[in-house]
Amino acid sequence: MEPAIRVNQLSKRYASGFQALSHVDLTIESGEIFALLGPNGAGKTTLISVVCGLVNPTGGQVSVSGHDIVTDYRAARSRIGLVPQELTNEAFETVWATVSFSRGLFGCPPDPDHIERVLRSLTLWDKRNNKLITLSGGMKRRVLIAKALAHEPEILFLDEPTAGVDVELRREMWQVVRQLRETGVTIILTTHYIEEAEEMADRIGVIHDGEIVLVEEKRRLMRQLGSKQLTLHLPSPLERIPPSLNGHQLELADEGHELIYTYDAADVSSEDAAGIPTLLSDLRDAGIQFSDLNTRQSSLEDIFVSLVRGRQ
């Protein structure tokens, strides 16, 4: 089966001389949720714009379900729905009119039932006769999603879908995306909210300075790069770590009130659970008591920051 998107050696240099993308290779499989992460100006939007036909590439090829975006642009573009970052809309049109317009524009015959399904799934049905200018920001964002879904695309691009959206609406948006995936739609989202990628994505690509730095399954990425920390809160502070505990990766914090053990998250499933049982029994032998403990796994954000920093 053809991948949903295949990007091959894609480059984009704008007329200003700015190199937004350099030799990007990327394959996105059909049916997955792919999150493209990167700081502002990394090239996320340019990459999406090239795939969707908004920006002309200066080198390389892109195909959508096997259709080249230049030579076979009709087949390629009709498979894609794009939800842009900016909340742009025809202020004086109604929700119904603007969503129906999108369906026609993408070459589909009118289908009021489909439009109704889309509007209902995005809880826009009650607003169908409202002019866009009267809608709240969150509703406008939904209208943009409805427009992108009007022609039943196989692939949906969400460019920063939850930028400037409140927490509740963000969760709703995630729900919508998950439902879409269940219907078989491939979803590519860009974000700089790590939380979002962590919550949603099957795979994550990190883009930085126009280059793809890494593409990995989310779980594996977090396992590979994630370290865990166990923090023990001590009722009586330690001045230094007793020599009997030298075999463990320990450090003292909070003026001796905290003992921090760093270990690899991947080892937890191993036989002695990353050395935690041994550590605890060694602590007991050394006569160190603790009143509380907590563990913390590094988030994608930590991973992301260390990746981007590592390249600077």
Nearer to another protein, 130 or 229 (CB): 130
Considering only residues 8, 11, 78, 299, which one is a binding residue for another protein as defined by CB under 8 A?
Answer: 78
Quick check: 74 binds another protein (CB under 8 A)?
yes
Minimum CB separation from another protein for residue 81, in Å? 9
Q: CB under 8 A: which stretch of 88-96, 119-127, 187-195, 269-277 binds another protein?
A: 88-96
Query: Measured between alpha carbons, how far is residue 180 from residues 23, 102, 150, 194, 304 in Å?
Result: 31, 18, 13, 21, 27
How long is the chain? 312
Minimum CB separation from another protein for residue 67, in Å? 10
Minimum CB separation from another protein for residue 120, in Å? 22
Quick check: 66 binds another protein (CB under 8 A)?
no
Quick check: 80 binds another protein (CB under 8 A)?
yes
* Of residues 26-55, those binding another protein (CB under 8 A): 52-55
Q: CB under 8 A: which stretch of 77-85, 203-211, 215-223, 252-260 binds another protein?
A: 77-85
Minimum CB separation from another protein for residue 161, in Å? 15
DSSP line for 12-58: EE-TTS-EEEEEEEEEE-TT-EEEEE--TTSSHHHHHHHHHTSS--S
Closest by Cα among 115, 114, 106 to 76 = 106
Site string for another protein, 184-213 (x = CB under 8 A): ------------------------------
Quick check: 75 binds another protein (CB under 8 A)?
yes
Nearer to another protein, 52 or 300 (CB): 52
Residue 141's contacts (CB-CB under 8 Å, 6 or more residues apart) are 83, 87, 161, 165, 169, 173
* Of residues 91-150, those binding another protein (CB under 8 A): 91-93, 97, 100-110, 147
Considering only residues 40, 86, 167, 310, which one is a binding residue for another protein as defined by CB under 8 A?
Answer: 86
Angle at 24 between CA 21 and CA 27, to 5 degrees: 140
DSSP summary character for residue 99: H
Q: CB under 8 A: which stretch of 29-37, 86-94, 183-191, 266-274 binds another protein?
A: 86-94
Rounded distance between C-alpha atoms, residue 216 and residue 35, angstroms:
10
Query: Measured between alpha carbons, how far is residue 131 from residues 128, 144, 217 in Å?
Result: 8, 14, 42
Written as one letter, the residue type at 132 is: L
Minimum CB separation from another protein for residue 91, in Å? 8
With beta carbons less than 8 A apart as the criterion, state whether 260 and 229 touch: yes
Quick check: 73 binds another protein (CB under 8 A)?
yes
Torsion, Cα 53 56 58 64, to 10 degrees, reads 10
Minimum CB separation from another protein for residue 20, in Å? 10
Minimum CB separation from another protein for residue 208, in Å? 21
Tokens describing residue 207? 């883009």
Residue 284 CB coordination number (10 Å): 10
- What is the contact surface with another protein in residues (CB under 8 A)? 14-15, 52-56, 73-78, 80, 82, 84, 86, 88-93, 97, 100-110, 147
